[in-house]
Amino acid sequence: MPISSALEQQRFIEARQPFFAKVTEQVLKLVPKAVSIHCFGLNVVGPRISPSDWDFMVMLPESAPLSDIENLNRLTSPLAEFRKVGGQYLEVQVLREDDQTPCAALVRNEGVVIWAKGREGETLQ
């Protein structure tokens, strides 16, 4: 069951603040044009077990060229090499914030925003 209330989301983020801060720092080095970073997948909607990898979606502005998205999502991109933080395995993908695919809808509906540009000094941590 997804985290639904703002209080649940806040607790989820606060409990993992050091981990999310490291992920955010590394992602922003690789994707400086990011407008938000979402955590989604089993660790958000499932039993939140440590052995599961962590899934992150980086949203780029609507104006980002599709070629940028494709290049960032390639298996040879720096994001593909960014696989581990603090002993936790990661999957990081990129979409435009106006993407209307089922994957984007899943991230928006079931994910948790761990960072967003322009919110309280640009971090949610």
- pLDDT one-digit tens code per residue, 12-30: 888 889 999 999 999 999 9
Check whether 65 has a pLDDT greater than 60. yes
* Predicted local confidence at residue 124, as pLDDT: 46
Higher pLDDT, 65 or 86: 65
Check whether 88 has a pLDDT greater than 60. yes
* Cα→Cα distances 51→18, 56, 59, Å: 18, 16, 26
Q: Taking all residues of the chain, what is their mean pLDDT, rounded to a whole number? A: 86
Sketch the domain layout of the chain as residue ranges.
6-116
Torsion sign across C-alpha atoms 101, 81, 9, 51? positive
Q: Which residues pair with 93 in a beta bridge?
A: 57
* Predicted local confidence at residue 55, as pLDDT: 92
* Predicted local confidence at residue 83, as pLDDT: 85
Question: Which segments of the chain are extended strands (E)?
Answer: 36-40, 54-60, 84-85, 88-96, 112-116
Report residue 65: phi and psi, to 5°. Answer: -65, 145
6-116 topology per CATH: Beta Polymerase; domain 2 (3.30.460)
Between strands 54-60 and 36-40, the pairing is antiparallel
